[in-house]
Amino acid sequence: MRLTDEEKRTLDGGRGEARRVAMEILAGMGKIFEAGRLVPVRSAHVLASLLNFHGAGLEVIERLAALGARYAVPTTVDPVSVSLEGDDIPLPPGLAERQRRICAAHAAMGVVPSWTCTPYWGGNLPGYGDHVAWSESSAVAFVNSVLGARTNRLSTGLEIAASIMGRIPECGLHLTENRRPRVRFRVEADPADELDFGAIGYLVGRLAPGRTPYLVGLPPHATWEQLTSLGAAAASAGGIALFHAEGVTAESRRGAVDLRGLRRAEEHLIDRAAIRRAVAELTTASRTPDLVALGCPHWSVRQLSRLAALLRGRRVRDSVRLWVYTSPYVKRAALEKGVAQAIEASGARILTGTCMVISFLRHAGVRVMMTDSVRAARLVPSEHGCEAVLAPLAECVSRATEAGAG
């Protein structure tokens, strides 16, 4: 990899120890991935959950913060393992302390305290063609596909180094030739909600892991929420960092998708039956849920508004908890709109800064979680040893509530 004189000086320690270490990380990764050079990035998004960091990651980030490292570009941060409300799941003191130290290190380096996996609802919104350095696989799929920005699936640590330097090795999805689709999916299912879109993403990930798919047949008016759900499921099921959907995603709408490789590519059909099978596959229990968990990835104001409408005239049953996850700023907007109050009046909780995947559901005594999130249904059973029931939002609400004022 060619380095500029300034980058060489940094690597030799001429710009301080923190930047030297960050540059060594970038140079090491650039070499492995045969990047020609480093390119400037406009923003970064970093992870912070102690489940992501463990002891090893904590040691790394504290060492960088102690060296005086600072984020050089606007940098938002993912959710953590305790909610900002703080009273949902009592964490064992050791774990809470470790989480606090990770957050403190990020704060010392100048992170924007977004605590969300959907920072685009709060303003970290890369432009078309922008190089960025994002972690969080669901957000990576979104910014690559829906916004047409460019990032690889960066891991905890690499995005931190990239943000400290404001640069990333130019390889993988930063290069136009690597953004070409390799496999075609024909969708004949009229997907209507986040569950349908999530199931499509799950199938794409299972059938073509690691490849860039080209989807035909998604409705042109598909919402960002639906596409978030598709990308999040495809990422968790198949490591997919970029999907193209004809007439829907950014590069397709601009006619910028190179379709030549698709002529002889394999094609898969996704129909209603396939979606039903996927939902059944991800449903591991038929027992009554003790937790109905919504908001994976973190919900938008529009999704909270829809939930408020479904909850009108209903209250959460005594035997079940209804928790909804979002970011602090979306909750704030929902409060101003009156939507958050309507939701909580039913007995549901809006929790910010965490989610069901990275908080310790086991400590809350959760045995069966019901959700409309394909990603959560895929990840929670492995991580928390509880069962998952996957169902449309209206069904989740009716299982969690009964008629009556809150």
Partner 1 sequence: MKPHLEHIEPQADRVFRGRPVSDGIARAQAVVTRQPFMFSHGLDPASGIVIDRSHELYGRLVRGSVLVFPRGVGSTSAGMWLLEAVLQGNAPAALVMEEIDPVLAMGALFARLFFQRSLPVVDKIRPAALLAIRTGDWVEVDGGAGMVRLLRGGREGAARPPRGRLPEGGASGGEGGGCRRC
* Torsion, CA 172, CA 174, CA 176, CA 179, rounded to 10: 50
Instruction: Closer to partner 1 by CB, 79 or 289: give it.
Output: 79
Nearer to partner 1 by C-beta: 46 or 308?
Answer: 46
CA distance 189 to 201: 13
Per-residue DSSP letters for 54-121? HHHHHHHHHHHHHTT---SS-EEE---SS-SS--SS---HHHHHHHHHHHHHHHHTT-B----S-GGG
Residue 378 beta carbon to partner 1: minimum distance, rounded to whole angstroms: 7
Least distance (Å) from partner 1 to the CB of residue 297? 11
Instruction: State the nearest-atom distance from the C-beta of 302 to partner 1, in Å.
Output: 25
Place of tokens 């432009």: 127
Q: How many CB atoms lie within 10 A of CB 80?
A: 25
What is the nearest approach in angstroms of partner 1 to the Cβ of residue 340? 28
Residue closer to partner 1 by CB (options 116, 305) is 116
Q: Are 79 and 48 in contact (CB under 8 A)?
A: yes
Closer of 169 and 217 to partner 1 (Cβ): 169
How far is Cα 116 from Cα 228, in angstroms, rounded to an integer? 13
Task: Give the C-alpha separation, 249 to 251, whole Å.
Answer: 6
Between 354 and 401, name the residue whose CB sits nearer to partner 1: 354
| Residue among 153 and 321 whose Cβ is closer to partner 1 | 153
> What are the structure tokens assigned to 325, written together?
């996850």
- Please state the closest distance from residue 301 (CB atom) to partner 1, in A: 25
- What CA–CA distance (Å, rounded) separates 197 from 52? 26
Nearer to partner 1, 126 or 347 (CB): 126
Q: What is the nearest approach in angstroms of partner 1 to the Cβ of residue 152?
A: 5
**Complex with partner 1: residue 63 or 399, whichever CB lies closer:** 63
Within its chain, how far is the Cα of 195 from the centroid? 16
Question: Phi-psi region for residue 123, left (φ > 0), alpha (ψ -120 to 50) or beta?
Answer: left
Is residue 216 within 8 A of residue 186, CB to CB? The reply is yes
Site of interaction with partner 1 (CB under 8 A): 21, 24-25, 28-29, 32-33, 47, 49, 51-57, 59-60, 63, 135-137, 140, 152-159, 172, 205, 209-210, 235-239, 284, 357, 378-379, 381-383
CB of 148 to partner 1, least distance (A): 20
Query: Nearest approach, Cβ of 232 to partner 1 (angstroms)?
Result: 10
Would you state the structure tokens that stand for residue 109, as one six-digit string? 């380096």
CB atoms within 10 A of CB 179: 21
